[in-house]
Structure formats: structure tokens, C-alpha cells
Amino acid sequence: MNRFERWTRTVVSRIQGKERDAGAGFVEYAGLMIIIAGIFTLIDQLGLDGLISGAIGDAVDRVIGGGG
């Protein structure tokens, strides 16, 4: 079996769900929510929200050609 066939079988088996994790449990989702909430709180407390939105706005302006 050549490399392409082996790779194809691997991809197909992963897409079909063989050898796949059953999914995340409640504890994993809760932990993820706590981390995300902590990041948002940190951004808010440090006053980075305006800086981040300004940087995103500047980047969008550069991409679409606006803002001089």
C-alpha cells in the first residue's frame, strides 16, 4: 500500500468516526467556560478592550483599503 492510500484510509476512518473521542464531558466544557470568562475579565480589568478593538479596526481598514 502506498503512502497516498494509507493516508486516504486514515482520513476516511477519522471522518467516519472510527478511533474518535466520544466527545467532551460536562467538566471539560465547564473548565473551558471558566477559562474564557477569566480571559474576558482580564481584558476588561486591564482596559485592553479599546486597544484590541482599535487594532482590529485598523487592520480591517488596511485590508479593505480605507483609513488612509
Give pLDDT tens digits for 47-68.
898 899 999 999 999 999 875 5
Question: Whole-structure pTM over 0.85, yes or no?
Answer: no
Instruction: Please give the backbone phi and psi of residue 17, each rounded to the nearest 5 degrees, phi first.
Output: 100, 0
In a domain, 67, yes or no: yes
Tell me the percentage of the chain whose pLDDT exceeds 70.
84
Q: Tally the C-alpha atoms within 13 A of residue 35's C-alpha that lie toward its C-beta.
A: 6
Return the ∠ at Cα 64 (arms to 63 and 67), rounded to 5°. 95
Q: For residues 50 and 7, what is the distance between their CA atoms, to the nearest angstrom?
A: 46
In a domain, 11, yes or no: no
Name the domain count of the chain: 1
Give the residue numbers spanning the domain of 33. 22-68
What sections of 1-68 are H helices per DSSP? 3-16, 26-45, 48-64
